[in-house]
Amino acid sequence: MQPLDWNDLRYLLALARTGSFSLAARLLRVNGTTVARRLKVIEAQLAVRLFERDANGTMQPTGPGRIAISQAEIIEAEVGSLTAAIKGADMPAIGTVRLTAVPAFANRLLIPALPALLAKHRGLRVDLIADPRGFNLTRREADIALRLARPEAALGARVLARRIVTLSYAAYMPISRPGKGADLPWLTYEEGMAHLPQARWMEKAATRQGGLAALAVNDGDVLIHAVQAGLGRTLLPCIIGDQTAGIKRITLPGEAPPGRELWLLTHRDLRPLARIAAVIDWLEELFKKT
């Protein structure tokens, strides 16, 4: 295998970020044939195909291509860090960041705050994956993950995990109902999620007053819609519940609801990238308000 010309990696990154030879050429101020030729050189040196054209005509990276792009970005970040350190300039946040969070956070916190982030970083694109599942950062299924639980030790040394806030929870009921909702049933999670701290708390509270509603769900955002529909009361993070229309916070006697730790995870190799740092800084600032 011939050694790579590091200068060729900028053609690889430009094609990954634009999806076409012509746009990559425009970005690099060369012609399209130059981009195609340099890509062929890299593919020949690595003995793999790095890009394939999809049904829409866009150049999409293959599996080896995604690996090559990731490593090239790390090299770009290191070179950029050196340049920034010498010139005292900031690196631009350019490229795509895959961010995953539970739907309630994605829909009700991240989406409303995204316009400010994208206006500040014009070259940034965010792929927001609203999903309660734990995506694998080691396999690069996501670049940044927000998780409502302390990560398992099995994540390994390649994943950086840090608690960014402990979220306060409170009970919420429909704003259309008078009083404190003592007669309302508790809306909680289905059996597969009964282990969650807030689910266990509501199970105990239901035995004292109100009972359980004739509905159980698997997602916090669905709980919010159920409360808005007048089906009962539930526990929600205050950062979400306090700014959600159609519901109101209520004070309950007895033991206070449990809080939840919010953890931010990212891959160690990606952390130095300007685009990753920009999104992490934005998330930290967003949750400072809790």
**In a structure prediction context, what are the per-residue pLDDT tens digits for the chain, which is 290 residues long?**
556 777 888 899 989 988 999 999 988 889 889 999 999 999 988 889 999 999 888 999 999 999 998 888 878 767 765 655 444 445 678 888 989 999 999 999 999 999 999 999 988 999 998 887 665 665 667 889 899 887 765 455 677 888 999 999 999 999 998 888 888 999 999 998 889 999 999 999 999 888 999 999 999 999 999 999 999 999 999 999 999 999 999 988 778 899 999 999 988 777 778 888 899 999 999 988 65
Residue 283 CB neighbour total at 10 angstroms: 22
Answer whether 0.85 is exceeded by the pTM. no
Edge-to-edge strand ranges of the sheet holding 144-147? 124-130, 95-101, 144-147, 260-267, 159-167
CA–CA dist 193, 199 (Å, integer)? 7
Torsion (CA) 155, 159, 163, 169 in degrees, nearest 10: -60
